Homo-oligomer: A and B are copies of this chain.
Amino acid sequence: MKQEQRNTGLDREAVVRKLREHGITPTQQRVDIATVLFERPQHVCADQVLAQVNAVESLVSKATVYNTLGLFAKKGLVREVLVDPTRLFYDSNMIPHHHMYHSDSGMLEDVAPGQVQLGALPEAPEGMVIEGVDVVIRVRRI
């Protein structure tokens, strides 16, 4: 993670703007975390974020990483993905899509929404709204 590699992500200013757009006060730590998340679209769990953000020097505590990921999810900056019963993944790709989960390897792949034909959904019960529909295609080695 040095300055040799091309950075396809957002620069610090763009990250700050993005947080503001979602009604999040852009603190130092939140910007650090968001910078890691939006470096590229990825599926990442809290542990990995903690490691990445503190790779060079210790910048952010565990509690803050967990709190911030929760906050980002609530504010619609990232999306939670449940495929592994032992940990929660955060998806920094907010373009609507589904997932293919390789249960052998734990690998998680995006599936374009056009690849899955989702027809009529059931109505949400009275007084409720559909928050989202998650489709996970689980695959394994033959």
Residues on A lying within 8 angstroms of B by beta carbon are 80, 82-83, 85, 87-88, 100, 102-103, 111, 115-122, 124-125, 127-142
- 13 pairs, A vs B, C-beta closer than 8 Å: A85-B88, A111-B122, A116-B119, A116-B121, A117-B117, A117-B120, A121-B137, A124-B137, A129-B139, A129-B142, A133-B138, A134-B134, A134-B135
Judging by beta carbons under 8 Å apart, are B130 and A137 in contact? yes
Judging by beta carbons under 8 Å apart, are A137 and B111 in contact? no
Minimum CB distance partner of A89 in chain B: B85
Judging by beta carbons under 8 Å apart, are B128 and A141 in contact? yes
Judging by beta carbons under 8 Å apart, are B122 and A133 in contact? no
Report A73 CB to chain B, min CB distance, Å. Answer: 11
| Copies held by the complex | 2
Which residue among A80, A102, A117, A138 has the maximum number of chain B CB atoms within 10 Å of its CB?
A138
Judging by beta carbons under 8 Å apart, are A138 and B131 in contact? yes
Of the candidates B83, B121, B131, B139, which one forms a contact with A140 in the assembled complex, judged by CB atoms under 8 Å apart?
Answer: B131
Residues of B contacting A118 in the complex (Cβ-Cβ under 8 angstroms): 116-119
A116, B141: Cα distance in complex, Å: 27
Residues of B contacting A131 in the complex (Cβ-Cβ under 8 angstroms): 103, 138-140
